[in-house]
Structure 1
Amino acid sequence: MSDGPSCFWLLLVLLFLTRALTPIKIKSGLTEFYVIPGHNLTLFANFTVEPEDTIYSGTWRKDVREIAECQKNSSWIAGAQEGLDCVLQNSNISLTLGNVFPNDVGTYTLELVSDEGETENVQFAVKLYESISTPSVKWNETEFNKGGNHTFICKIENGTNPQFHWEKDDETLTNDSRHSISESGIVLMIIAINESDCGSYKCVIKNDINQKEVQFNISIENYKWCQEGKNHEGKIYTILGLVFVSLGVIIWIVWMINKWRNRQDNNRRQLTDATQDNNVNVLPLLEMEQKGCIDRPDKTENEDESSELNAGCNDKPDKTENEDESSELNAEH
């Protein structure tokens, strides 16, 4: 019974030494590739060999069929198909497939052969890049209550390298205190859901070929507690509306009062100006009327006598004796 574990560890040591002492070591990096029909694809690998050895050639096979063989510092490709380009350099080798078709997917094998006859190979899996299929969102609608934490899962059947993101009312959701997005964007959790979370949601998925989305609603048609938020918003809007209307009425009243006051002031000024003008014109008339120089509307029988009196209004005052003497002196001069 004790020989079993010993043999096992011995085999592991031998395997390790065998791999460690392999004359050719290949570092391929990626071994799984996705191709889009009509695009180019390049398979690439780095390698190292013993200092005294070099790589003589590299042979590429698809499944079990040889498709190309390239040699160092040579552009000639033995047995290569049309649309293939193989390049072998000191420490790397590449194979480019141009204008890939769906039948180009499969398993590709690279075999390196050194001048000393050593060999090493590596495999590459080439798969077709698939477009995004129609997505769907799953969530527990029967136990969807206000205040709970609820999870939404976005799923697709097919699609290479899908990229997920979530939207609410056409705005992108991110991780915050009430939203948690995980599993590369597949899962959305809403924490302590309430009426503010009601609205239209989208799960959007895209890749290098196409984009798909699925929409769902959390609305008052399905959940009555969404209406609470609407009622609250409605009350706020009603109050704001009343405030604005009240302000408008107050402003209008103040404007009307100011307008009335301005009109009253204008009337007072006009009346004052008219009164001053009347005083200026009326006083001389009163003096003339007192002197009998102005006819009254209703003439008396002594109309002729009034005319004589009016005629006398135009006469200058009687000259005094001094004025007569002054006139005589002026005549002598």
Structure 2
Amino acid sequence: MTVSLWPRGPGSSPRIEEGVCALVFFLLLHNVDAGVQIESQQRDFFVIEGRNFTIAADINITQGDTIASAFWAKKNGERQRIVDCFPDQVETASYSRYTGRGWCAMQADSITLTLTKLTPKDSGDYELKITLNSGEIGTVHFTGKLYVPVFNVTIVPHSEKTDRQTKLILKCKVSAGTDPIFKWTASDKTIARSSKYVMSADLSVLTILELESSDCHVYTCIVKNDVNVEKKLFNVSESEDVPFCREHLYAHVLL
């Protein structure tokens, strides 16, 4: 008598380009009863506030047995039931804060959970529990990680004068964002590491060595992750924090 569960694929979550994070599952399949054989695979999925997701699992039951009951639950220290599942039915969740936004759909060989209008509290550990009419039990665990869009990009400038040379440091910062990726451009042209341009390991800090008048233009910090892209422009010539460029700008105007 066996029950096997494994991920069916990315589910029915919308694609990233439509504003929804691509879903990657975290399914940890393990035995609860000696007669239940379940394959193991570890994945995780991201929870994006305001979005929806669907997680699916295929069911393989030994011929002659059937599912008596199943349910999805959230585990935050203690199990919090989300929705009960019944064969060939779609049931709306009737438990706590999941009322009206959680659904379970069960077919002969599959079972899914859909949650809508996600909140940060929806991140954490989940469990699907299936009980057969024979009394044997199968479970599957998965984890939702909160994925935060890039938010509030700023550039903090700092210039240093040594001897007759000026060094400009531009620090790009974000208030929030999961796995931010940084990129710099100068007048819309991508900046690469060189003897002129020094960057931090994560590319968030750009240092311009031996600042010249030709370097006094607009720099852009572009920050992105799997959810969105944000950018911030910094005009060196108009910044009071870089007197070198302002002096050259005014000198050019006077000429």
Please classify the TM superposition score into its range, dividing by the shorter chain length: 0.5 to 0.7
CA 1:26–1:86 in 2, change beyond 3 Å: closer, same or farther? farther
Matches of 1:185 and 1:55 in 2, distance apart? 56
CA spacing shift, 1:79–1:199, aligned 2, 3 Å: closer
Return the alpha-carbon distance in structure 1 between the equivalents of residues 106 and 206 of structure 2. Answer: 48
Does 2:74 align with 1:59? no
Structure-2 residue corresponding to 1:40: 52
Counterpart CA distance in 2 for 1:184 and 1:91 is 46
Q: Secondary structure at the match of 1:94?
A: strand
The answer to whether the 8 Å contact 1:144/1:150 transfers is no
More strand by share: 2
Amino acid at match of 1:95: L
Structure 2 residue identity aligned to 1:36: E
User: TM-score, structure 2 length as denominator?
Assistant: 0.57
Corresponding residue SS for 1:25: coil
8 Å CA contact 2:183, 2:221 repeated in 1: yes
Paired position in structure 2 for 1:105 = 122
The alpha carbon displacement at 1:149 in A equals 7.3
Partner Cα separation in structure 2 for residue 111 and residue 130 of structure 1: 29
Q: State the match for 2:83 in structure 1.
A: 68
Q: Distance in 1 between matches of 2:239 and 2:176?
A: 34
Q: In 2, are the aligned partners of 1:25 and 1:47 still within 8 Å (CA)?
A: no
- May I ask how many residue pairs the two structures share in their alignment? 210
- The answer on 1:199 being equivalent to 2:223 is no
Give deviations 1:279-319, integer Å, cap 9, x for gaps.
xxxxxxxxxxxxxxxxxxxxxxxxxxxxxxxxxxxxxxxxx
Give the structure-1-normalised TM-score.
0.46
Shift of 1:61: 1.6
Q: Match of 1:27?
A: 41
Partners of 1:152 and 1:189 within 8 A in 2: yes
Structure 1: segments with no counterpart, 5+ residues: 1-17, 239-333
Shift of 1:66: 0.7
User: Structure 1 residues 201 and 24 mapped into 2: Cα distance closer, same or farther (>3 Å)?
Assistant: same
Amino acid at match of 2:124: T
Larger RCO: 1 or 2 (CA < 8 Å, sep 6+): 2
Query: What amino acid sits opposite 1:155 in the alignment?
Result: K
Please identify which structure carries the higher helix content.
1
- The within-5 A match list for 1:148-187 is 151-160=169-178, 162-169=180-187, 171-175=188-192, 177=194, 178-179=196-197, 183=201, 185-187=203-205
Give CA-to-partner distance per residue, 1:40-94, whole Å, 9 cap, x none. 222x25467686798835421234321112245x223375532323234577643
Q: Secondary structure at the match of 1:203?
A: strand
CA contact (8 A) 2:222 2:229 kept: no
| Matching residue's letter, 1:122 | H
Change (3 A) 1:131 1:155: closer
C-alpha displacement of 1:132: 0.6
Structure 2 residue aligned with 1:82, among 100, 110, 118?
Answer: 100
Cα deviation code 1:220-243 (max 9, x no counterpart)? 974548868998x99xxx9xxxxx
- Which consecutive residues of structure 2, in runs of 5 or more, have no partner in the other structure? 1-30
What value does the CA root-mean-square deviation take over the aligned residues?
4.6
The structural deviation recorded for 1:109 is 1.4
1:133 to 148, 152, 177: 152
1:142 matched to 2:160: yes
